[in-house]
Amino acid sequence: MLAQKLINFYRQLKPPGIPRGFEVLHPQHDKEVMQVVKHFFTKFYDDSRPRKLLLGINPGRHGAGMTGINFTGPRQLKEFCGIDHPWGNSSELSAEFIYEVIMQYGGPTAFYRDYFVGAVSPLGFIKDGKNINYYDDKKLEQAVTPFIIDTIRQQLDMGFDRTVCLCIGGEKNFKFLQTLNQKNGFFQSIIPLAHPRFIMQYRRKKKQEFVDEYLKALGH
């Protein structure tokens, strides 16, 4: 079953070596987080359907960095996924947009039956107490690239549909993943999608247009 493969993947993740001055964000290393992650995967992925992948950039402190589940903050986890947890009711802008898409798709059960939301780097990074994307520092990017290639391969070996990947996070994430794809042949094609945080911060009045773009890319 896919659920157990995903649980094993996150449980066995080993952080890559990174340059001095950076920290790795590895929420699944915490037993309490991993219990919630197991609950989530068992609830939505306990079958062998060949889902497609959506890949964000890397986890941040207030969403997946807290819950262990990509683009899912504490509020989304409880309110939309029906999973209790000890982290209160805080939210996160990217999660709010993604769950708007999920609800218009038909809800978490329908969405997660067809898709898995991962990240180009399944672990996040922190510098000076703030989130940093893997591509924001060239030394960091070079250090984590082998880790990214290896973890994408591990996920694809679980049986995901490789015809298309939806890349969340704007041009830099797309260009990096596209370059890796040209060298490694992960997917037949990659569709870039705007970053949810950018949409919510700077294009909120056009939010529904972006939701529609996501739904179109999802084939819904």
The whole-number pLDDT of residue 177 equals: 97
The whole-number pLDDT of residue 27 equals: 86
How many Cβ atoms are within 10 Å of 48's Cβ, its own excluded? 12
φ/ψ of residue 71, rounded to 5: 55, 30
Cα 62 to Cα 69: distance, rounded to the nearest angstrom: 11
The whole-number pLDDT of residue 97 equals: 96
The whole-number pLDDT of residue 23 equals: 92
The whole-number pLDDT of residue 91 equals: 84
The whole-number pLDDT of residue 60 equals: 82
Cα 152 to Cα 147: distance, rounded to the nearest angstrom: 9
Q: What is the pLDDT along the chain (220 residues), one digit of tens a residue?
A: 999 999 999 999 999 999 999 999 898 888 899 999 999 999 999 999 999 999 999 988 777 778 899 999 999 999 999 998 988 788 888 999 999 999 999 999 999 999 999 999 999 999 998 999 999 999 999 999 999 999 999 999 999 999 999 999 989 999 999 999 999 999 999 999 999 999 999 899 999 999 999 999 999 7
The whole-number pLDDT of residue 110 equals: 97
The whole-number pLDDT of residue 83 equals: 93
Reported as type and span, the H/E element at residue 209 is helix 207-217
Cα 161 to Cα 54: distance, rounded to the nearest angstrom: 11
Give the CA dihedral 78, 84, 85, 91, nearest 10 degrees: 10
> Cα 87 vs. chain centroid, distance in angstroms?
19
Inter-axis angle of helices 31-45 and 2-11, nearest 10: 160
SS3 state at 36 = helix
First to last CA, the chain: 25
Both tokens of residue 100? 């708007």
